[in-house]
Structure 1
Amino acid sequence: MTADKPYLTGHYTPVADEVTATGLTVEGTLPTELTGRLLRNGHNPKPGITPTHWFKGSGMVHGIRLREGRAEWYRNRWVHTPALDGAPYMTEHGPDLTASTAGTHVIEHGGRLLALCESNLPFELTPELDTVGAHDFDGKLRGAMTAHPKEDPVTGELHFFGSSPFPPYLMYHVADAKGELVHSAEIPGATASLKHDFAVTRHHVVFMEGNVTFDPGEHSGIPYGWSDRQPARIGIMPRGRDGAGQVRWFSVEPGNMLHVSNAYEDGRGRIVLEGPTVDREGFRLSWNWWIGAPGRGTEPNARSYTRRWTVDPAAGTVDEQIVDDLAVEFPTLNEEYLGRENRYQYAISFPDERGFGSYGVVKYDRTTGARRIHPVGDARLPSEAVFVPAAGGTREDDGYLLTVVSDLKQDASQLLVLDASGLDRVATVHLPRRVTAGIHGSWIPDTAPDGAAG
Structure 2
Amino acid sequence: MGNPYLEGNYRPVEQESTLFDLEVTGTIPAQLDGRFLRIGPNPVAEVDPRTYHWFMGDGMAHGVRLREGRAEWYRSRWIKTPALGGPPGVRYTIDSLGANTNIIAHAGTTLALIEGGVSCYELSDELDTLRAADFDGTLTGGYTAHPLRDPATGELHAVSYFFGWGNKVRYTVIGADGRLRRQVDVRVGGSPMMHSFSLTETYVVFYDLPVVFDTDRAVRATVSRYLHAPARLVLSALIGRISIPGPVSALMTGSGARAGHRSRGRLKPNAGLPYSWDPAYPARIGIMPRQGGANDVRWFEIDPCYVYHPMNAYDDGGNVVLDVIRHDRTFDRNPNGPDEAPPTVDQWVINPTSGRVTESRVDDRPQEFPRIDERLIGKRHRFGYATGLNNDMLITDLVKHDYRAGTSVVRTFVPGASISEFVFQPSAPGAAEDDGVLMGYVHNAATDRTDLMLLDAQTLDTVAAIHLPTRVPNGFHGNWAPTASD
TM-score when scaled to structure 1? 0.89
**Equivalent residue number for residue 147 of structure 2:** 149
TM superposition shift of 1:122: 1.5
TM superposition shift of 1:48: 2.5
TM superposition shift of 1:444: 0.4
Give 2:39's aligned amino acid: N
Task: Give the alignment partner of residue 311 of structure 2, picking from 251, 257, 261.
Answer: 261
What SS is found at the alignment partner of 2:387? strand
CA distance in 2, matches of 1:439, 1:289: 15
Deviates more, 1:218-227 or 1:312-321: 218-227
**Number of residues paired by the alignment?**
427
Task: Give the alignment partner of residue 12 of structure 2, picking from 8, 11, 14.
Answer: 14
Give 1:446's aligned amino acid: T
Does 2:465 align with 1:414? Answer: no
What SS is found at the alignment partner of 2:363? coil
Does 2:295 align with 1:245? Answer: yes
CA distance in 1, matches of 2:341, 2:278: 20
Q: Deviations over 1:261-318 (max 9, x none)?
A: 000001x2211111111113x6547x4552xxxxxxxx93751001111011111111
**Equivalent residue number for residue 480 of structure 2:** 443
**Equivalent residue number for residue 200 of structure 1:** 199
Give 1:192's aligned amino acid: S
**Equivalent residue number for residue 433 of structure 2:** 396
Give 1:427's aligned amino acid: A
**Equivalent residue number for residue 338 of structure 1:** 377
TM superposition shift of 1:47: 3.7
TM superposition shift of 1:239: 0.4
TM superposition shift of 1:146: 1.0
| Aligned-residue identity in percent | 42
TM superposition shift of 1:358: 6.8
What SS is found at the alignment partner of 1:447? coil
TM superposition shift of 1:85: 5.8
CA distance in 2, matches of 1:303, 1:112: 36
Alignment of 1:304-323 (within 5 A): 304-323=343-362
CA distance in 2, matches of 1:39, 1:137: 20
Q: Deviations over 1:167-221 (max 9, x none)?
A: 2520111111111101111113453121000011111100101221111123563
Q: Deviations over 1:107-166 (max 9, x none)?
A: 111111110110213200000000001011233322211100011000111111221224
CA distance in 1, matches of 2:94, 2:211: 22
TM superposition shift of 1:392: 5.7
What SS is found at the alignment partner of 1:187? strand
Deviates more, 1:342-351 or 1:159-168: 159-168
**Equivalent residue number for residue 278 of structure 2:** 227
What SS is found at the alignment partner of 2:187? coil
Relative to structure 1, is the Cα distance of residues 193 and 358 closer, same or farther in structure 2, using a 3 angstrom cutoff? Answer: closer
CA distance in 1, matches of 2:476, 2:294: 31
Give 2:154's aligned amino acid: G
TM superposition shift of 1:226: 1.0
TM superposition shift of 1:243: 2.8
TM superposition shift of 1:52: 2.0
What SS is found at the alignment partner of 1:217? helix
Q: Deviations over 1:1-43 (max 9, x none)?
A: 6xx1211110111111111111100001111011110010000
CA distance in 2, matches of 1:190, 1:273: 21
Unaligned runs of 5+ in 1: 88-93, 291-298, 450-454
Relative to structure 1, is the Cα distance of residues 96 and 392 closer, same or farther in structure 2, using a 3 angstrom cutoff? Answer: closer
Unaligned runs of 5+ in 2: 221-270
Give 1:349's aligned amino acid: G
What SS is found at the alignment partner of 1:330? strand
Q: 2:328–2:341: 8 Å Cα contact kept in structure 1? A: no
Give 1:324's aligned amino acid: D
Q: 2:422–2:440: 8 Å Cα contact kept in structure 1? A: yes
**Equivalent residue number for residue 99 of structure 1:** 96
Give 1:235's aligned amino acid: G
Q: 1:193–1:230: 8 Å Cα contact kept in structure 2? A: no
CA distance in 1, matches of 2:372, 2:470: 28
Q: Deviations over 1:205-257 (max 9, x none)?
A: 001012211111235631111111101110100001x3322001110011001
Does 2:107 align with 1:110? Answer: yes
**Equivalent residue number for residue 172 of structure 2:** 173
CA distance in 2, matches of 1:278, 1:187: 24
CA distance in 1, matches of 2:182, 2:94: 20
Relative to structure 1, is the Cα distance of residues 77 and 174 closer, same or farther in structure 2, using a 3 angstrom cutoff? Answer: same
**Equivalent residue number for residue 71 of structure 1:** 71
**Equivalent residue number for residue 136 of structure 2:** 138
Q: Deviations over 1:37-74 (max 9, x none)?
A: 00100000114244621111100000000111111000
CA distance in 1, matches of 2:167, 2:274: 17
Relative to structure 1, is the Cα distance of residues 152 and 301 closer, same or farther in structure 2, using a 3 angstrom cutoff? Answer: farther
CA distance in 2, matches of 1:289, 1:99: 19
CA distance in 1, matches of 2:183, 2:403: 34
CA distance in 1, matches of 2:430, 2:174: 29
Q: 1:351–1:359: 8 Å Cα contact kept in structure 2? A: yes
Q: 2:122–2:129: 8 Å Cα contact kept in structure 1? A: yes
What SS is found at the alignment partner of 1:336? helix
CA distance in 2, matches of 1:26, 1:106: 24
Q: 2:22–2:71: 8 Å Cα contact kept in structure 1? A: yes
TM-score when scaled to structure 2? 0.84
CA distance in 2, matches of 1:352, 1:273: 27
Give 2:328's aligned amino acid: D
CA distance in 1, matches of 2:53, 2:457: 34
Alignment of 1:1-80 (within 5 A): 4-50=2-48, 52-80=52-80
What SS is found at the alignment partner of 1:7? helix
Q: 2:39–2:62: 8 Å Cα contact kept in structure 1? A: yes
Q: 2:319–2:349: 8 Å Cα contact kept in structure 1? A: yes
**Equivalent residue number for residue 295 of structure 1:** none
Relative to structure 1, is the Cα distance of residues 25 and 302 closer, same or farther in structure 2, using a 3 angstrom cutoff? Answer: farther
**Equivalent residue number for residue 293 of structure 1:** none
Q: Deviations over 1:302-354 (max 9, x none)?
A: 5100111101111111111121111000000100000000000000000136x
Deviates more, 1:210-219 or 1:394-403: 210-219
Relative to structure 1, is the Cα distance of residues 308 and 130 closer, same or farther in structure 2, using a 3 angstrom cutoff? Answer: same
Task: Give the alignment partner of residue 277 of structure 1, picking from 312, 323, 326.
Answer: 326
Q: 1:302–1:351: 8 Å Cα contact kept in structure 2? A: no
